[in-house]
Structures are given as C-alpha cells and as structure tokens.
Amino acid sequence: MLQPVDYFKCLSDETRLRCILILHVEGELCVCELTHALDLSQPKISRHLAQLRQYGLLTDSRKGQWVYYKIHPELVPWVIDFLDETIKAVEQCVIYQQDILRLKNMVDRPVGGSCCK
C-alpha cells in the first residue's frame, strides 16, 4: 500500500494534478479528451496518465482502439476527500476553468465509446 507521501509526490506535478482533477469531476475520459482539455501533446498526457495508474490513482479500460481513464474505484477514502477539497480550492483558478471550458467546447467529443475522429 502506498504511503501518503507517495500520493503527494505523484500529485505534485501540475499536469498530473490537472488530469486527476478533471477526471474526478468528469468521470471517465479518453486520452484525446484530456489532451484537448489540457492543451498538451498526447505523448505527454499518456506519460502522466501512466504514472497516475502506476500509483493506483487511476484505472484504464480499452474500448476498441481507444483508452479511457477514470479514478480508481478502490482509492483510499482520504485521497477522495483530498480530491474533493482540492476541487473546491481550484474552482476559481484560471487554469482549471480553462481546462473545463476546453473540454466542454470540444468538437467531436466521444460519445458511447467512439473517440478521436
């Protein structure tokens, strides 16, 4: 079992924190949605998602050729509480607002498992 310091080290990176916060709010997202929302390259997003998965914060599933990520359903309760409180703290943060707005305005957003046209 990971210690709290391991979780905080993992989430100390801005990209990983932005990924996990948007996933915490939105639920399951495809890599292309996260790439669009965070306005970062696919390899960079994928690398950070792999680290979050390695630490047990995320789980992934494949739907056809696309990979979707979500918060691990068996995440320890204090981490969920931490994410809830962090969302409250960053709701007025410009970067977070821009991430959510870009996701909401994404054209051809995946529906029903079809992604990244």
Residues 6 or more apart from 30 whose CB is under 8 A from it?
66, 67, 68, 69, 110, 115, 116
pLDDT in tens, 63-102: 888 899 999 999 999 999 999 999 999 988 999 999 999 9
Please report the pLDDT score of residue 66 as a whole number.
83
User: Which CATH architecture is the domain 4-104 placed in?
Assistant: Orthogonal Bundle (1.10)
d(CA 91, CA 25): 11
Confidence label for 50 from pLDDT (cuts 50, 70 and 90): very high
- pTM of the entire structure? 0.90
HEC states along 4-72? HHHHHHHHCCHHHHHHHHHHHHHCCEEHHHHHHHHCCCHHHHHHHHHHHHHCCCEEEEEECCEEEEEEC
